Structure 1
């Protein structure tokens, strides 16, 4: 199921967050749920990008001749 499509519980947040939504979030209108889901997905994309960049920067501390082997071992 696409993360943009709500499941049978009705909120796009239900697909992104574990467990039941807090009452204060559940009380928000549906358009706010969609806005929050968009923000969460954007934050996840930014976190993924930051982690990938950090992994590549970490290679700077590895001697140059070992970098190809390390990249292969860690899947970069």
Structure 2
């Protein structure tokens, strides 16, 4: 499975005032639009095609029964 890393060159630093302006804009969006923005930003940050995120490697996890001891 491919290793995905955060592309730190895709973002720029903002002042506190600029960041506050962005927050007020996104707070006006409904939750579906905010989820779309988050999905887009994740695709940019981790360098995968938008709408086609990498699959979860389910072999990396295991389950076991809990004992009631």
TM over 0.5: no
Which structure has the bigger radius of gyration?
A: 1
Structure with bigger RCO (C-alpha 8 Å, 6+ apart) = 2
TM (norm. structure 2) is 0.35
Q: Which has the higher helix share?
A: 1
